[in-house]
Amino acid sequence: MLGWVIAGHDDYAQKMLDAIEQRFGPQSQCSAVNFWEGLSTNMLSRMMCDALHHCDSGDGVIFLTDITGEAPYRTAALMNHKHEHCEVISGVTLPLLLVMLEQRENVTSEAFRRLIVEQGGEGVTSLWHQQQKNPPFVLLHRY
């Protein structure tokens, strides 16, 4: 099963997880990380790293963040490069997560990324999709 780390500003993440658990009961391999005003990005990184390891069963972990480019998204993007089968999604909403909940058990992290971006519409994107729009800069040496 794919692990979920829901991360966002203020109590966004905890509210999302609480709403899911209120409707479907406790969710294994699922954590919320709230980025409160005044919290350092170093502490956010430590909290998200703990959540990543708590949610990982070996099948992959999906970081579900509120806003592209903000601290939770950037922190997840840095972890994505160090962890296999890790995806970063932004713009998630509660209705979208409710629709995608059963997919946690049925698909790979890459397939989940593709499905949630398709289902989510214009406001939902992923780190992978952002990288396709803006490929990394490569310096070509000419001798």
How big is the chain, counted in residues?
A: 143
What does the block give as tokens for 121?
A: 């519409």
Alpha-carbon separation of residue 12 from 50, 82, 130, 133 (angstroms): 18, 26, 23, 28
Q: Which residue of the set 9, 83, 85, 129 is catalytic?
A: 9
Buried b (16+ CB within 10 A) or exposed e, 37-74: eeeeeeebbebbbebbeebbeeebbbbbbbebeebbbb
Question: How far is Cα 141 from Cα 128, in angstroms, rounded to an integer?
Answer: 26
Which residue is listed with tokens 């992978």? 128
What does the block give as tokens for 92?
A: 């998630």
Q: Is residue 129 annotated as a catalytic residue, yes or no?
A: no
- Residues known to be catalytic: 9
